Amino acid sequence: MNILRLSDAEIAYGERKLLDGASLTLHTGEKVALIGRNGAGKSTLLKVLSGSAQLDDGNLWTSDNLVIATLEQTPPTDQTIEDKTLYRVVVDGLGELGELLERYHTITQQTSSPPLSELNRIESGIEMLGGWNIEQRVNRALDRMALPADATMRECSGGVRRRALLARALVAEPDLLLLDEPTNHLDIPAIDALQNLLITTPATVIFVTHDRALINAVATRIVEVDRGSLVSYPGSYAAYLDRKRKTDEEEALADRKFDQQLAREETWIRQGIKARRTRNEGRVRRLKELRTRRAARLEKHGNVRLSIDEGQLSGNLVAELDGVCFGYDLPLIENFSTRIMRGDRIGVMGANGSGKSTLLRLILGELRPQTGTVTLGTRLHTAYFDQRRSQLDERLTVRESVAEGSDSVVIGDRSVHVVGYLSDFLFPSSQLNMPVASLSGGEKNRLLMAKLFAQPANMLVLDEPTNDLDVETLELLEELLGEFSGTLLLVSHDRAFLDAVVTSTIVFEPDGGVREYIGGYSDWQRQTQRAQQPDAPGPDHKERERRGETFENRGQPTKNLGYIEKRELAALPEKIETMEAKQEALRARVSERQFYQQNKSEIQSALEELNAVDHAIVRAYERWEALSDRDDGSSN
């Protein structure tokens, strides 16, 4: 059944059209992922659907008594919310009933002898509105989101505040749930809980997210905001990518044919006197129409062009932690030791407040361990992406943030004009003199990347870099990090991003321990699940896996290939051919009559080399088959 219909929608800010004749129909129970470039109009569309923003033209129809709840991308900045308890924040989603429930909760929890007259009045009001069952719903929402009911918003971290606002949206049991970047600031357990909740809720859900794992698990349809239009793609994210690629190819072909036709007409109109005498007015009118259509055609946005000035190599040892302990009121890190070598790509995972950012600051030398030692390597040049974006001064302009008063940016040994450099990060010249404060979250992230990547760095430390980025920019960042030859430390709750980028993880476990694992998020899941089983592989298996001697763990089909795995799959055929050529040469050598007339040590060395090549080829074929089973075809 249809619950909402948007037709011929028009909305613009200045000369920029965010919706241009857009249409959308929503059905009961649908789970729709809304994607598109930063600034394409996703948040504006959600505001239109919720009724908080008005269309310039077009129609919005909703079914009778439709209950809509929203979660905005940017938390409310009203100072009055800071002193509210999380219980009050959640029941705010219930209107008048919420006020009564909050007052009842305050009186009964915080007053030893509540005034009976007021208590009776509140109880009568709650009963009249049928609120006692709803109070149970509020308590379930608080428990489900692991929220301390009597803590104030001011006391809570960004992740807890986000969970409270999610609970407020969910407690009303809406028919339509509009979520703008719901996973921002959430840790992985909270994202998993949200994912399960969205799958099981009977509500129709539209969610804007950069989390591809969430899209794959939840979405029944993907709608892309593309140059003012809403384009629908049924099915999974992988199916969307395939259909999107075909659509882009068809559009590019149509554009080429149009441009060729326009070029022919332009050539004709510029011909000599004889041609102008014979031309007809109909053809002139057609040329004018073609010119108008070409001018009006919106070009597809370009891709961000990311690059890092890697500078000189660091020493082999980047950092060594030995018996490190650190904490505040409670210990965060206890007796943790690790060695980080040049070229390592390490993900850091854990719940909000567990100590991930603290670990980064210890490695960077910004904090001193309370016990234990941290030894830093030589020739380190670090670029640090702070999740709070504290390196950006919101009073400066976009240009000043990167060029610092100059007209150029020095990248390696060359000077690049700031206009051209920032255009690679999708900042048009018209935006360069805008204050940083006016940018969206995704634009601020791109600007911070532009600022950091202009600095020579052989070590990248990225603390939640994916928040607010659109999916396309996120995938390009994956490619950039895949090609980065320096050392990478990455804190992220984006499961697909971790799988695609890192080769090992440091995990802050629920029991308070800090442990290291081979691989990304999916590998950590498999290893912890396997460790809980009676036949869990022992230390010898883990050591062989660390040396690359086993592939069964990596061969499990879990998700589409990340960028690093795609490069590995593309390189494997040539690698196998090289090994087979070596195998053939060794076999030919061993088959020669005079082979066994050599010294015993030479014979033994050649046979061992042949045996090693035989085993390496078998392992390479196993790896190739495992990766091929998970390949969606995009690595060809």
Predicted local distance difference test score (pLDDT) of residue 547: 35
Please report, rounded to a whole number, the percentage of residues in the chain having pLDDT higher than 70. 76
Predicted local distance difference test score (pLDDT) of residue 168: 87
323 φψ region: left (φ > 0), alpha (ψ -120 to 50), beta (else): left
Alpha carbons 410 and 309: distance in angstroms, whole number: 9
Task: Say which range, 263-272, 307-316, 332-341, 573-582, has the weakest mean pLDDT.
Answer: 263-272
Alpha carbons 474 and 486: distance in angstroms, whole number: 19
Report DSSP state, residue 130: T
Predicted local distance difference test score (pLDDT) of residue 207: 94
Mean pLDDT of the chain: 79
Average pLDDT over residues 311-318: 78
Predicted local distance difference test score (pLDDT) of residue 189: 84
Structural domain boundaries in the chain: 2-238, 240-296, 317-546, 563-630
- Please indicate whether the domains covering 2-238 and 317-546 agree at the CATH topology level: yes
Q: What is the pLDDT of residues 43-71, one digit of tens each?
A: 889 999 998 888 989 999 999 889 899 98
Q: What is the pLDDT of residues 263-309, one digit of tens each?
A: 766 666 665 544 444 555 666 666 666 666 565 555 555 555 666 66
Alpha carbons 592 and 589: distance in angstroms, whole number: 5
Structural class in CATH, domain 317-546: alpha beta
Confidence class for position 147, pLDDT limits 50, 70, 90: confident
C-beta of residue 611 within 8 angstroms of C-beta of residue 582: no
Structural class in CATH, domain 2-238: alpha beta
The terminus-to-terminus CA distance of the chain in angstroms comes to: 41
Residue pointed to by tokens 């960028």: 563
pLDDT(544) > 80? no
3-state SS assignment for residue 506: strand
pTM of the model: 0.64
CATH number for the region 563-630 comes to 1.10.287.380
DSSP E strands, 214-253: 221-226, 229-234
pLDDT(556) > 50? no
More confident residue, 102 or 30: 30
More confident residue, 604 or 461: 461
